[in-house]
């Protein structure tokens, strides 16, 4: 699983009476997507959407301040160049409320949906609208088939991808690695050998923490999902997520035991915190704080972890700094499975202005506007798997690393498995039994209990 972060906003644009002046300003050919976007957008890319003066598109999401500001900024050129108004509302209770709104016939025009599972639930309400052909064409052009499949329900394509996250990362200290002569591993065997080498030197190589309130245990589910992708490959991973193979069958057993080779080995964990049992009581936020100081050599954690480091200038997140990350390698150097998450734009209306805005959001134009806005306003923290994203528009080194991984033509992307499993498993038994596993329960008992919790219908 990943902790789903939600954020959103409200925006106002030029009035219809001033559209001619706005269009004149837009034709200046200046760059867009920065703080000056409102006065210098190039409108040539927006003529396809027509004159939408007086029209409003409502957008609802869980992305709140401060991340919402970059969304507001990225919408401005569309507003200025078409005359439309984008009314964006953020709600921390989005995931609950959007279902209520869809079921009651009171849904917004567009929603930014953070999980394929929730997307399927929303489609099941019959309130969602299939994506227009222009959106489908953009997704075919700018994303891979794996991403398009997550926006498709029962053979109908509904939602274009938006933002993305990369979870298949290992945090480390490049400066300490250089001092010790360690090389970033390119295969799982190399990672195992590096782990042993660090342990043999007298250091404890790994740090981990799974404490996360009611969600305690989720970091282990991410570990297991990554190993499922690497040991079983994407086809078996999909079968596992969909319960076409049992949770306690051979490959899942091998995957969890593979995780155990690291997390349940007292010689390998838990750097700076104690023994294996300390993993259960260490928060995931605290777990990697020893990376910059050298108390911990490695921690498997998603790209968002950098926000947990001190901001007092003691930590430099870069490939030459005291904190960075490397791609969690596959079985072979050529293997490139990537576990991650993402968001999708789902429409509940098919008016021309809604379809126009929906199409805009599926373009490389918007992807780069959003990247520039995020870089300017929040100093990063947002990426997309859109192949048209110019990585030069990202200022955060981890964003650049993650976007590069997503754009690698060898990458095979899979969405976080527990986010797609039934809630009784993905956000309940999987977390709880993973916690019991790290505190001593056997792999067999753990997987047997999760399998038994899978809904019968």
Residue range 140-177, pLDDT digits in tens: 999 989 999 999 999 999 999 999 999 999 999 999 99
Determine, yes or no, domain membership for 4.
no
The rounded distance, in Å, linking the Cα atoms of 4 and 275 is 29
The rounded distance, in Å, linking the Cα atoms of 215 and 409 is 34
pLDDT digits over 53-81, tens only? 999 999 999 999 999 999 999 999 999 99
The rounded distance, in Å, linking the Cα atoms of 400 and 395 is 7
User: Is the pLDDT reported for residue 39 higher than 70?
Assistant: no
87 close to 11: Cβ distance less than 8 angstroms: yes
Identify the bridge partners of residue 327 per DSSP, sorted by sequence position.
169
pLDDT digits over 315-350, tens only? 999 999 999 999 999 999 999 999 999 999 999 999
240 close to 226: Cβ distance less than 8 angstroms: no
Determine, yes or no, domain membership for 443.
no
> What is the domain extent for residue 213?
169-338
Same domain, 106 and 221: no
Determine, yes or no, domain membership for 121.
yes
Query: Residue 455: is it exposed, middle or buried by C-beta count within 10 angstroms (0-12/13-18/19+)?
Result: exposed
User: Is the pLDDT reported for residue 31 higher than 60?
Assistant: no
Largest CA distance in the chain: 73
pLDDT digits over 173-231, tens only? 999 999 999 999 999 999 999 999 999 999 999 999 999 999 999 999 999 999 999 99
The rounded distance, in Å, linking the Cα atoms of 311 and 194 is 30
Domain end: 304, 338, 372, which one? Answer: 338
pLDDT band of 42, cuts 50, 70, 90: confident
Domain end: 338, 362, 386, which one? Answer: 338
What average pLDDT does this structure show over 303-313? 93
23 close to 81: Cβ distance less than 8 angstroms: yes
Work out the angle at residue 405's Cα, subtended by the Cα atoms of residues 402 and 411, and round it to the nearest 5 degrees: 145
Q: Which two tokens stand for residue 117?
A: 């599972």
pLDDT band of 287, cuts 50, 70, 90: very high
The rounded distance, in Å, linking the Cα atoms of 171 and 211 is 18
**DSSP state for residue 130 in the 8-state scheme:** P
281 close to 219: Cβ distance less than 8 angstroms: no
User: Is the pLDDT reported for residue 106 higher than 90?
Assistant: yes
What average pLDDT does this structure show over 11-40? 34
Burial annotation 341-352 (CB, 10 A radius, 16+ → b, else e):
bbbbbbbbbeee
User: Is the pLDDT reported for residue 17 higher than 50?
Assistant: no
- At 24 the pLDDT is 31
Beta-carbon contacts of 324 under 8 Å, excluding residues fewer than 6 positions away, are 171, 172, 173, 174, 317, 318, 397, 398, 401
The rounded distance, in Å, linking the Cα atoms of 128 and 91 is 20
The rounded distance, in Å, linking the Cα atoms of 342 and 261 is 29
What are the C-alpha distances in Å from 266 to residues 173, 190, 196, 222, 273? 22, 20, 12, 21, 12
205 close to 297: Cβ distance less than 8 angstroms: yes
26 close to 77: Cβ distance less than 8 angstroms: yes
Determine, yes or no, domain membership for 450.
no
- At 11 the pLDDT is 27
Mean pLDDT of the chain: 91
Same domain, 218 and 315: yes
User: Is the pLDDT reported for residue 18 higher than 60?
Assistant: no
Same domain, 202 and 215: yes
Same domain, 333 and 352: no
* 3-state class (DSSP) for residue 345: strand
Q: Poorest-confidence range of 11-20, 29-38, 188-197, 352-361? A: 11-20
Same domain, 22 and 127: yes
Q: Which two tokens stand for residue 406?
A: 């997503």
Identify the bridge partners of residue 300 per DSSP, sorted by sequence position.
170
User: Is the pLDDT reported for residue 35 higher than 60?
Assistant: no
Which contiguous run of DSSP H or E holds residue 57? strand 56-61
Same domain, 216 and 303: yes
**DSSP state for residue 427 in the 8-state scheme:** I
Same domain, 305 and 347: no
Same domain, 138 and 257: no
Same domain, 271 and 200: yes
Determine, yes or no, domain membership for 360.
yes
Beta-carbon contacts of 95 under 8 Å, excluding residues fewer than 6 positions away, are 4, 6, 62, 114, 115, 118
CB atoms under 10 Å from CB of 42, counted, come to 16
81 close to 43: Cβ distance less than 8 angstroms: yes
Determine, yes or no, domain membership for 455.
no
Same domain, 162 and 89: yes
**DSSP state for residue 1 in the 8-state scheme:** -
- At 41 the pLDDT is 67
Q: What is the DSSP string of 139-164?
A: HHHHS-HHHHHHTEETTEE--EEEEE
Domain end: 338, 357, 386, which one? Answer: 338
Same domain, 157 and 239: no
Same domain, 188 and 311: yes
Number of structural domains (the chain) is 2
Determine, yes or no, domain membership for 421.
no
**DSSP state for residue 311 in the 8-state scheme:** S
CATH code, 226: 3.40.190.10
Determine, yes or no, domain membership for 432.
no
* 3-state class (DSSP) for residue 19: helix
């Amino acid at each position: 699983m990943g902790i789903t972060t939600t954020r959103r906003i409200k925006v106002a644009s030029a009035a219809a009476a001033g559209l001619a002046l706005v269009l004149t300003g837009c034709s200046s050919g200046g760059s867009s997507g920065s703080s000056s976007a409102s006065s210098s957008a190039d409108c040539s890319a927006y003529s396809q959407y027509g004159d939408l003066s007086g029209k409003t598109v409502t957008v609802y999401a869980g992305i709140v301040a401060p991340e919402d500001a970059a969304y507001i900024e990225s919408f401005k050129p569309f507003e200025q160049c078409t005359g439309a108004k984008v009314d964006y509302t953020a709600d921390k209770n989005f995931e609950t409320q959007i279902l209520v709104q869809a079921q009651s016939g009171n849904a917004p025009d567009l929603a930014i949906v953070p999980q394929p599972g929730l997307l399927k639930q929303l489609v099941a309400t019959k309130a969602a609208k299939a994506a227009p052909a222009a959106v489908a064409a953009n997704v075919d052009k700018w994303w891979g088939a794996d991403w398009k499949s997550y926006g498709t329900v029962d053979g109908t394509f509904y939602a274009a991808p938006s933002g993305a996250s990369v979870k298949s990362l290992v945090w480390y200290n490049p400066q300490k690695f250089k001092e010790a002569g360690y090389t970033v591993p390119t295969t799982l065997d190399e990672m195992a050998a590096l782990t042993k080498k660090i342990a043999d030197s007298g250091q404890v190589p790994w740090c981990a923490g799974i404490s996360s309130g009611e969600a305690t245990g989720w970091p282990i589910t991410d570990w297991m999902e990554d190993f499922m992708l690497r040991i079983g490959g994407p086809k078996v991973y999909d079968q596992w997520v969909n319960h076409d193979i049992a949770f306690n069958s051979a490959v899942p057993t091998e995957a969890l035991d593979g995780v155990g080779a690291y997390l349940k080995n007292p010689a390998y964990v838990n750097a700076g915190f104690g023994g294996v049992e300390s993993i259960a009581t260490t928060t995931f936020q605290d777990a990697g704080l020893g990376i910059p100081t050298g108390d911990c050599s490695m921690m498997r954690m998603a790209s968002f972890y950098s926000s947990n480091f001190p901001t007092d200038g003691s930590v430099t997140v870069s490939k030459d700094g005291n904190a960075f990350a490397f791609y969690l390698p596959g079985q072979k150097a050529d293997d490139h499975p990537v576990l991650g998450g993402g968001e999708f734009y789902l429409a509940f209306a098919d008016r021309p202005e809604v379809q126009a805005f929906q199409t805009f959001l599926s373009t490389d134009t918007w992807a780069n506007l959003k990247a520039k806005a995020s870089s300017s306003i929040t100093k990063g923290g947002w990426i997309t798997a859109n192949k048209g994203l110019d990585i030069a528009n990202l200022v955060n080194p981890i964003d650049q690393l993650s976007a590069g991984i997503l754009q690698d033509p060898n990458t095979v992307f899979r969405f976080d498995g527990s986010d797609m499993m039934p809630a009784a498993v993905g956000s309940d038994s999987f977390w709880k039994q993973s916690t019991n596993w790290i505190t001593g329960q056997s792999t067999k008992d753990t997987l047997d209990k999760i399998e038994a919790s899978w809904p019968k219908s």
